[in-house]
Copies of this chain bind each other. A is one copy, B any other.
Amino acid sequence: MHRSFLVLYELSKRMKHRSGRLLISSSELGECLGVSQQTASRYLSDLELGGFIERSRGGRGQFISLTRKGLDVLDGVYLNLKTFFDEIGTPILIKGRVVQGFGEGAYYVKEYSKSLREGLGFEPFFGTLNIKPLRPFPFLEKYVVGEVKGFSKGGRSFGSLKYVSAILSSSGWTEDCFIIIPKRTHHLSELEVVCEHGLREKHGIKDGDLLQVELKV
């Protein structure tokens, strides 16, 4: 979240919908934001350079539309504010597709096995399911229910893990699971799920399948 959000947001306020297009001049935008025309012009040029917007010159200003990247910035903020303002108990759902992990999941679950068993209350399956969400998803740290302390082994250091409780589901089945969050990670782009069972085998899951994760809050 950097400053560019404020400008993107100001643009989005003036668009009826995410797929819309906006005609605005740099001086108008400057007025909206309380900065000069020159500064507004630089803002737009920076946003374009960063891949957040696309623009084309029109006679009375410039036509602006948001790129996927720009929309995702706004969507991430929207989803976080939604969890913040929604009534307690409103389910938090994340939809995503199964992706190929780096193959390290099994290795790590094995290494952390003892600690995880104590924390989770069951023997975790030796492997993780990696899920790539379709949209940005809320910041998960606030839902953390436990932590596994880091350790060193064979000259290699294993950092602390936090985990969030969730329910994984697809058509016809539901499984309790945990989402693993390496302690020193700021921007998670995939969810790493551990479970008591091998879900790929048990439910015939393969890469690309669409799953739903519901956070237990």
Contact of B88 with A82 in the complex, beta carbons under 8 Å = no
**A9 surroundings in chain B (CB, below 8 A):** 1, 77, 80-81
Interface residues of A in 48-88 (CB under 8 A from B): 74-75, 77-78, 80-82, 84-85, 88
Contact of A78 with B74 in the complex, beta carbons under 8 Å = no
Tell me the number of copies of this protein.
2
Contact of A78 with B81 in the complex, beta carbons under 8 Å = yes
Contact of A12 with B81 in the complex, beta carbons under 8 Å = yes
Contact of A17 with B84 in the complex, beta carbons under 8 Å = yes
Q: How far is the CB of A159 from chain B (nearest CB, A)?
A: 16
Bound together, the chains give a CA A166 to CA B15 distance in angstroms of 18
Contact of A3 with B3 in the complex, beta carbons under 8 Å = yes
Bound together, the chains give a CA A134 to CA B142 distance in angstroms of 29
Kindly state whether residue A14 has any CB partner on chain B within 8 Å.
Answer: yes
**A81 surroundings in chain B (CB, below 8 A):** 9, 12, 74-75, 77-78, 81
Kindly state whether residue A5 has any CB partner on chain B within 8 Å.
Answer: yes
Kindly state whether residue A141 has any CB partner on chain B within 8 Å.
Answer: yes
**A77 surroundings in chain B (CB, below 8 A):** 9, 77, 81
Bound together, the chains give a CA A83 to CA B12 distance in angstroms of 10
Q: How far is the CB of A50 from chain B (nearest CB, A)?
A: 16
**A18 surroundings in chain B (CB, below 8 A):** 84-85
> Residue on B with the closest CB to A74?
B81
Kindly state whether residue A139 has any CB partner on chain B within 8 Å.
Answer: yes
**A3 surroundings in chain B (CB, below 8 A):** 3, 6
Residues of A within 8 A of B (CB): 1-3, 5-6, 9-10, 12-18, 32-34, 74-75, 77-78, 80-82, 84-85, 88, 138-139, 141-143, 186, 217
